[in-house]
Amino acid sequence: MKYLKPVIALLLAALFAFGAAACVNGGGTDDPKTTAAPADTPTEVPAENPTEAPTEEPTPEVKKGFDLHFIDIGTGDGMLLVCDGEAMVIDSGNVGRGEKMVSYIKAQGVTELKYIMVTHGHADHVGGMPEIIEAFPFETMFINLEQRCTEKPFKNLLSIIEERKINTVNPEVGAVYTLGGGSFKVIGPLKDDPNNLNNCSICIKFTYGENTFLLCADISATVESQLLKSGEDLTADVFKADHHGSSAGNVKKFLSTVNPKYICMQVGTENKLGYPDKSTVKRLEQTGAEFYRNDVHGDVVMHSDGKTITVRTEKTPEAAEN
């Protein structure tokens, strides 16, 4: 027994050491060659309805060129000028003609105007303005607010201008304004005529590229003479016959100086003043220019590409006679 106790102690110590070693190695239950499987790498799953980047609406293509529309609104002036996408109106015909002006302008795809021009206050030039002002936004109205006109349509227009606080400009002779790639120069009136409102008409010469257009509303031979003496270049490819073809203007010397290739007369089939005057028509025909009339051809459109002018009309002279 003396020697047995040490042996038993050694055996217990060995068993204790072995058990401790087993605990350190995980209790001896795992294969030491086995390693944990790596975690799965997440993969990106595409969305069923991916959101696309918003696309910009294409900008409408601007129609290049200049179109001068002589609108058939009876005896009176009513013109639409469209140049490289910008538009202006000159006069509006008589009372009751505004709806025709508005519908015609809208039919050309015009939704807004840059300018409105009132050449003078007579009813056959301003009567349709209320409808145009109501239908289209615009930047500036060219008008002489101080002109001596007592006609009701003009007074009505002045009231609308005041109520709406419309931006107005009385253009000075020599002033130049742009419309698209074109421009127009104010060449009249050169003098105030208290006895003749027609002679106070705003006169302009429009230029687009190599082509020119002379528009002088209702001036008489008196103002035509003033313009001839002014030194202003009056030559033009297109000429609007002055004052609806009345006997008061369109004198031979003035016409020969303008030397137009195309003429348009804004006159209706019936009017109380007997326009156009036969002798005036003869002088206009003798210029050799292509001669168009609203009472014969309906709406007349003269198009310029900056070099050449083409004309289209609503109806042919033969159709007008039937």
SS (H, E, C) 192-237: CCCCCHHHHCCEEEEEECCEEEEECCCCCHHHHHHHHHHCCCCCCC
Residue 224 lies in a domain: yes
Number of domains present in the structure of the chain: 1
Residue 189 lies in a domain: yes
Provide the domain limits for residue 90. Answer: 66-321
pTM: 0.81
Residue 234 lies in a domain: yes
- Please return the burial class of 291, using the count of CB atoms within 10 Å of its CB with bins 0-12, 13-18 and 19+: middle
pLDDT classification of 317: cutoffs 50, 70, 90: confident
**Whole-number percent of the chain with pLDDT over 90:** 75
Residue 242 lies in a domain: yes
Residues 6+ apart with CB under 8 A from 257: 228, 234, 235
Least confident of 33-47, 136-150, 272-286: 33-47
Residue 227 lies in a domain: yes
Residue 127 lies in a domain: yes
Residue 50 lies in a domain: no
Which pLDDT tens digit goes with each residue over 292-307? 999 999 999 999 999 9
Residue 126, phi then psi, degrees to nearest 5 = -120, -5
Residue 62, CB-side half-sphere exposure with 13 Å CA sphere? 11
Which pLDDT tens digit goes with each residue over 198-237? 999 999 999 999 999 999 999 999 999 999 999 999 999 9
Residue 72 lies in a domain: yes
> DSSP string spanning 168-189?
EE-PPTT-EEEETTEEEEEEE-
Distance CA 192, CA 183 (A): 25
Distance CA 271, CA 292 (A): 18
CATH number at residue 160: 3.60.15.10
111: left (phi over 0), alpha (psi -120 to 50) or beta: alpha
Strand, helix or coil for residue 302: strand
